[in-house]
Amino acid sequence: MPVWGQVISAHQVADLVAYIRAGLPSVPGATPAPVITGQGPAVEGALLYQRYGCVNCHGPNGLGGVPNPQSPDKAIPALSGADFFKEFNTDEKIIEIIRTGSVLGRAPIVSMPHWGGIIPDSQLRALVAYIKTLKTG
């Protein structure tokens, strides 16, 4: 997450904390997240998706759509569907976007946090295994 120390006031921080504690509104028409059962990387990845907060922006089913006025599409992108899997068609490409927080060669106005050096490789692979279960459309 970017550093906001000199950008927003203490009052704005308090407002932001209250907003986060209240939770994000549900997305009308959203389908429940797939239920992952059993053992293996996808199950671990589902837990990590929650733990690292991916769900807060990309949603429980990876459909994205959370408003982000600073992004070109004005919403956080999906982690599922044909467009996503066309661009991120290998595990390595998905891992790279998680590590860097942006697509190489693009300069987004606001990108997601970069997780390189924070999420271990084994957990990155588990996250990818889970993201691939979200493949829809």
Q: Residue 35 forms beta bridges with which residues?
A: none
Asked whether the beta carbons of 32 and 61 are under 8 A apart, the reply is: yes
- Report the alpha-carbon distance of residue 89 to residue 61 in Å, rounded: 19
More confident residue, 96 or 32: 96
Locate 13 and state its tokens. 């921080």
Helix runs in 1-137, H state only: 10-22, 41-51, 54-58, 82-87, 91-100, 121-133
Report the predicted TM-score, pTM, of the whole model to 2 decimal places.
Answer: 0.68
Q: Specify the 3-state DSSP secondary structure of 69.
A: coil
Locate 60 and state its tokens. 């429980």
- pLDDT at residue 83 is higher than 90: no
Q: Which CATH architecture has domain 29-133?
A: Orthogonal Bundle (1.10)
pLDDT score for 120: 94
pLDDT score for 75: 83
